[in-house]
Amino acid sequence: MTEDKVQKYRNDLAKTVLAGTKQQQKIADILTQMERDTDLTDDMRLELETHATQLTINIPQSESAVVHSSNDEKRFLPRYDFKEDYESICGLKEFGFDENCKDVAKQYATWFKSEYLPNFLPMPDAAQQYPIATVFALLNCKAVLSKRQCLPIPYFIGSNGSGKTELGKTIAQHYPSHLAVEIRPGFTGASIRDLLDSKFGSGEGGYALVDNFNRNEWLVKWGAHYDILLANCEESAVSRLSNAGSDTTKVEFKHYSYKVITSVFSLDEGTDPECGEVARRTICLNFQEGKPVYSRIMYEWEGMQRVYQRIWGEESMDLLHKVYAPTLGKLNRIKPSNIPDAINPKKWIICQVPIAVGVYCGVFESIEHGIDSFAKHFTYLKRNKGTGVGSQLSIILGKWVKEDLPKLGESNRKNRYASEALKRIDLEISQESLVKHLEEKMGLKIGRRDMDELILQMSNYGYRYEALGNSMGFVKQSTLNEGK
């Protein structure tokens, strides 16, 4: 029976060649269905994923390769090229940074912290967070002492429109386009593995922005490839296609890169083990909705890539050997018992590289200053725990859905006179009643953007947004499964 299923999946994958430009989406849908199929073993899934990677993909012919016929003259609208009519403004020059300056690492870090971030990315508690953000922006995943040295995974948390993705894309501007990728929620584990391997499998140090992370959705879609997200050192960033066979016949995928995650959801080591493992490898930056002075897309930022290459390239090699490497070596020898209590020993291992970057770039005056800055940052994060998503809505929603409603539902189920609706008050929640409760507690109207955040957060709490009678509402997913 299972073998028949495998053959059916192979047939379905083969038929995707008939889907034209929608072939890649069809393959992705089939891979997602496979990952959720409990009848398949891991080896069966891996065999099918290998088969999928060997399919001939119908790539639409690029416009540059099209031979234009006389029919082009009948186009409804012409092709536009305004490059000669509009001169892009260099952002570095406009905001006072000289690409050709001496001591480029310290000069650029100072400019980034004091000019770029305040003008383009307002953040709460900027005096505390800007130095950490600057270090994250300049981190180099290849500048480590060994393949076992771990990097942090910066976790940008805040409400929609708070600037998380903007900082993520700003970091991407330091890399050439072929070394920077953006990973979105629709990607499957296999597709992410293949993408990272194609980009970084040759050993180049690259950057991956994991945007809009929702643990309930991502953990299901990533399945057996969950280690791709967790790989924060080069040694662990290798996955094998199968556990069977000899070392010479196994296919390896290399997906080592510097990763940044953005999300509206907080991570807690005390939750399920998977997210606890992500939390231990991340360092958060908090965001809240604000109005930047300028928009990043108004300017051209190609100079950032040239500056980053100067900071970490051949011309700085003497300084890297003189300052950066010895600093990282000293940090590596500091025992966890000798660091401030505010830095969890499990976090210390991922603090060493960013502190060394901060000392090298002049963000921190010394190793001691860097350690103290991260200790203060962890204290700040602990003090602001629960406000990470940057919205009053999330705090009130979390208390109502995770604490108050379950208690009320449990009490009603013990009351034999309570109606069925009251007994299910925490399992089926109408949108109207939930919005009314939140608006009363906040004293504010919930707009469309808040509604998007509400749906996302309810999904994180295990509720699916769907029709309830004649209106919309939220149904506990365990309830849905029980009804199947």
For the domain with range 91-383, which CATH number is right: 1.10.1060.10, 3.30.2310.20, 3.40.50.300, 3.40.1350.10? 3.40.50.300
What pLDDT was estimated at residue 347?
92
d(Cα 176, Cα 169) in Å, to the nearest integer? 12
Q: Which residues pair with 464 in a beta bridge?
A: 475
* Averaged pLDDT of the chain: 83
- Predicted pLDDT at 56: 62
Check: CB of residue 46 under 8 Å from CB of residue 243.
no
What are the extents of the domains in the chain?
A: 2-53, 91-383, 392-482
Tell me the average pLDDT across 128-157: 95
Tell me, yes or no, if the pTM score tops 0.75: no
Question: CA–CA distance from 369 to each of 351, 365, 366, 464 (Å)?
Answer: 13, 6, 5, 47
Q: How far is CA 64 from CA 60, 82, 115, 304, in A?
A: 11, 17, 40, 29
CA-CA distances (angstroms) from residue 96 to 170, 227, 242, 292, 434? 18, 42, 53, 18, 50
Confidence band, pLDDT 50/70/90 cuts, at residue 268: low
Grade residue 215 by pLDDT with cuts at 50, 70 and 90: low
Ranges of beta strands (E only) in 369-437 are: 428-430
pLDDT for 443 beyond 90: no
pLDDT(66) > 50: no
**From 24-28, 34-38, 214-218, 434-438, the region with the lowest mean pLDDT:** 214-218
> In terms of Cα–Cα distance, which of 473, 398, 464 is closest to 432?
473
Residue 386: pLDDT band by 50, 70, 90 thresholds?
very low
Burial 87-109 (b: 16+ CB within 10 A, else e): eeeebbeeeebeeeeeebbbbbb
Q: How many CB atoms lie within 10 A of CB 447?
A: 9
Q: Cα–Cα distances in Å, from 414 out to 249, 404, 454, 475?
A: 60, 16, 30, 21
Chain centre to alpha carbon of residue 275:
13
What are the structure tokens assigned to 414, written together? 């013990």
More confident residue, 307 or 17: 307
Written as one string, the DSSP assignment of 420-458 is HHHHTTTTEEEHHHHHHHHHHHHTS---HHHHHHHHHHH
Residue 158, CA distances (Å) to 124, 155, 178, 235, 425 in order: 10, 10, 28, 32, 29
92-96, 261-265, 275-279, 310-314: segment of lowest average pLDDT: 275-279
Residue 462 contacts residue 272 (beta carbons within 8 Å): no
Query: Does residue 138 have a pLDDT over 60?
Result: yes
Weakest mean pLDDT among 118-132, 191-205, 219-233:
219-233
Helix locations, 288-366, DSSP H: 302-312, 317-319, 325-333, 345-360
For the beta sheet containing 471-476, the strands, ordered from the edge strand earlier in sequence to the opposite edge, are: 428-430, 471-476, 463-468
SS3 call for 56: coil
Place of tokens 């509009």: 86
